[in-house]
Amino acid sequence: MTPAPYKIHKFDVIDSTNTRARRMALESAPEWTVVAARAQQQGRGRYRRKWESPSGKGLWFSIILRPEIPLEKVNLINLSAALSVRSFLEKKILREGKQNEGIISLKWPNDVLANQRKICGILLESSTSVNQLDFLIVGIGINVNHLISDFSPAIRQRATSLRLITGRYYDLDELLDEFLQQFYYELNGSLNRNFEGIIPEYEACMLYKGEMITIDLHHQIIKGKLAGLDSNGFLRVKTQTGERLITSGEIWQNGQE
């Protein structure tokens, strides 16, 4: 059997797999070093939000990457990760014959939603020096074995899990291996092709394309029509004063904010 192209460091409980992976990257861990935990005590989401990571309920893991890409292309790794999670989950859902529930969409930049409920979040953190990328930490949280009562009341209406969709209980170690194999193959393919084709692929399953949205830039709110993505994966929004390129922020469909 060919050895796995990644090395997983498994923990029962950890503060955050992203924090640990960052420390290992600073200590020169090679790329495709993976930190995975059954539970996180301080799982982090975007914008310093807490990420619920109860024991044995989901895949909580972080991957160290050292791609040789210009800084402006880093967001494309975000999109690649979201696309890989999407196709992985879709395969799992279709395998159980749940065609109608197999509608997985992506909310820019990297939320993965099933039937409009969040099933996966991705936290990409980078370390740079002199305008050059040193390493990336791709932190991925996938809700797998949760029943609805496993989510806190605060997110119960907005979250879902693979088990809630397929009715199956999953072996998390097997699932992680399956996902990492797929992601390794897909991300390297994407890097070798210089990310060719990724923008239309992402746009095809992106929520709210062509619709009126509100974007919270965390220092300003803007409204406009989501026109699509530019070649670096940034959001093109048509506002009343012209087209704007959004590099980071949170989006909602108008009326949902």
The minimum distance between CB 242 and ligand BTN, in angstroms, equals 30
Per rule CB under 6 A, is residue 249 in the interface with ligand BTN? no
Residue 134: strand, helix, or coil: strand
Contact 36, 176 (CB under 8 A): yes
Per rule CB under 6 A, is residue 60 in the interface with ligand BTN? yes
Question: Of residues 33, 38, 43, 113, which one binds ligand BTN by CB under 6 A?
Answer: 43
Nearer to ligand BTN, 22 or 163 (CB): 22
Contact 145, 187 (CB under 8 A): no
Helix (H) or strand (E) holding 162: helix 162-166
* Measured CA distances, 212 to 46, 110, 113, 223 (Å): 23, 19, 19, 7
Per rule CB under 6 A, is residue 81 in the interface with ligand BTN? no
| Binding piece for ligand BTN, criterion CB under 6 A, among 91-99, 120-128, 153-161, 169-177 | 120-128
Question: Of residues 45, 54, 67, 228, which one binds ligand BTN by CB under 6 A?
Answer: 45
Per rule CB under 6 A, is residue 107 in the interface with ligand BTN? no
Distance CA 180, CA 64 (A): 12
Contact 44, 60 (CB under 8 A): no
Per rule CB under 6 A, is residue 175 in the interface with ligand BTN? no
Which residues of the shown chain bind ligand BTN in the complex (CB under 6 A)?
16-18, 40, 43-46, 49, 51, 53, 60-62, 111, 121-123, 139-141
